Structure 1
Amino acid sequence: MGTTAAPTPAPAADGDALLAEAMGDVAVEAGARVSVAVLDVESGRSAVYGDGAFDTASIVKVAILAALLLQAQDAGRGLTAQEEAYAAAMVRDSDNASASALWTAIGRAEGLEEAGERLGLVATEGGDGPLWGLTRTTAADQLTLLGQVFGDDSALDADARDYLRGLMGGIAEGQDWGVSAAGSSGSALKNGWLPRSATGLWDINSIGRVVVDGRAYLIAVLSDGNSGKDRGIAMVEAAAKAAVSVFATA
């Protein structure tokens, strides 16, 4: 009597392919671009849609603060009262003057990129001179940055991670759109929005951590070429929901 071979386990679904399929239901305006990266924290599975580089607008404020915290770690000190005031205004209220002050304090693009190397960012380039909002990055790099903030294996020490998480969890009312639309409560995020003077089109970006049915996800959504801020936000929020659906149903 012959033996019956054990069934071969089905291969794990390709996260990138599933995300691409989910993004097929997201309405993206003609001429606009979007890239998405998501990590299911519990399983460690991730997926990326699109690999282009985008201007950060204000999401770079998370990286600016991470660079400042790394430099303070190296010096064996905490942040000064002035630095803390700038950091809170920069992240919670997206205050640009505070961002400019801390951009200068970290050494502008050079300081950001030095920190980026330690944080595992491989495709992020600081903006020229004072133009921190024109830093270029990818969704995959932003997902790596989120992992450094919300994970335990990080170049940032525990106090620095807790500090960043706290600020991202207290975003000002009216600025808490974006990836938070995919979560139920307790989101921590930073958004960026920038109207381009040459074209009248909008860059709309959102990065952060969301919780869905008790399960945590890190999500980065970057976009440009949106005809208006509200339309861009709606698309980014739909993309964040699509990203979560990849693993929420897996």
Structure 2
Amino acid sequence: MSSRPSRTASKAGALLASASALLSAGLLYPAPAAAATTASSGHTPAHATAAVLDLDGAGGAPVLHGEDRAYDTASIVKVDILAALLLQAQDAGRQLTARERKRAEPMIRRSDNAAADALWRQIGRASGLAAANKRLGLTSTTGGPGGKWGLTRTTASDQIRLLWAVFGTGGTVRAGSGGLDARSRAYVRTLMSQVAPEQSWGVSAAGTEDSGRALKNGWLERNTTGLWDVNSVGRVTVKGHRYLVAVLSDGSASMGDGVSLVERTARAAVT
């Protein structure tokens, strides 16, 4: 939402196809040739921030690597959109409808933008996201303007708070208050563990066991500079140890560079 120099040659076609699909769907914006040339020849170095929470450790605070500043979410916000939808359903005392599931599942598994557009409207756009995030404990996330959910701004530490709301043990849940209940958390976890194979890059590079992997990625080319925002959030397992990992980045000259940066940063942060 291209490939790493080391082991992504086989992924390149699939990732580029995904990028083309996003371009046609409106999340990615074509950059002028001049901007792309400038970006590749002399742009400001790319930046990345990682946050890691050890689910099996004694401490309860995430460890930060890099400056915990705000980045554009691109499609990682789709996890947040789904969380907001589930909270609204909980408050109404119901499960998701078949229509809602038909949109939620491709939104996470395939990063479907049309599904995200529909659910973004349904939750109330930025204001609906803000209401959900207040309940989930996020403090530094601001929804994108109008229909531009991909321009939501967030920090790595806030993404760990969101991941904790999904992968943590939960708490007291009542209509209108509290976080995601056990059924909702299990639903999000399941979808994040079933992302399309061509979108399984990112924080998964830090894991050693596929069975413990669950993630959501996001990628966005900026129309003014030709530079890329590339992000990845999720849970990984390393030698039986579970970690929540969020890596946010911007300023990469290409999607491939961004993927490589995110994966290097994730591995370094976990190890």
Identify the TM-score tier after normalising by the shorter chain: 0.7 to 0.9
Distance 1:110 1:44 in 2: 36
The match for 2:95 is 78
SS at the partner of 2:183? Answer: helix
Distance 1:156 1:94 in 2: 22
Identity over aligned residues, as a percent?
58
Q: Is the 8 A contact 2:170 2:182 kept in 1?
A: no
From 260, 263, 267, give the equivalent of 1:237: 263
The yes-or-no answer on 1:137 pairing with 2:154 is yes
Distance 2:127 2:164 in 1: 22
Of structures 1 and 2, the larger Rg is shown by: 1
From 139, 152, 162, give the equivalent of 2:186: 162
From 211, 230, 243, give the equivalent of 1:217: 243
The TM-score normalised by the length of structure 1 is 0.85
How far off is 1:31 after superposition? 2.4
SS at the partner of 1:203? Answer: strand
Q: Larger relative CO (CA 8 A, sep 6+): 1 or 2?
A: 2
From 226, 233, 238, give the equivalent of 1:200: 226
The match for 1:171 is 195
The TM-score normalised by the length of structure 2 is 0.79
Q: Kindly report the root-mean-square deviation, in angstroms, between the aligned alpha carbons of the 2 structures.
A: 1.0
**1:50-61 correspondence runs (5 A):** 50-61=67-78
User: 5+ unaligned residues in a row in structure 1: which ranges?
Assistant: 1-28, 246-250
User: 5+ unaligned residues in a row in structure 2: which ranges?
Assistant: 1-42, 172-178
How far off is 1:30 after superposition? 4.5
The match for 2:9 is none
Distance 2:54 2:130 in 1: 27
Distance 1:164 1:86 in 2: 13
Q: Deviations over 1:15-55 (max 9, x none)?
A: xxxxxxxxxxxxxx942121110011111432012111000
Q: Is the 8 A contact 2:170 2:181 kept in 1?
A: no
The yes-or-no answer on 1:148 pairing with 2:165 is yes
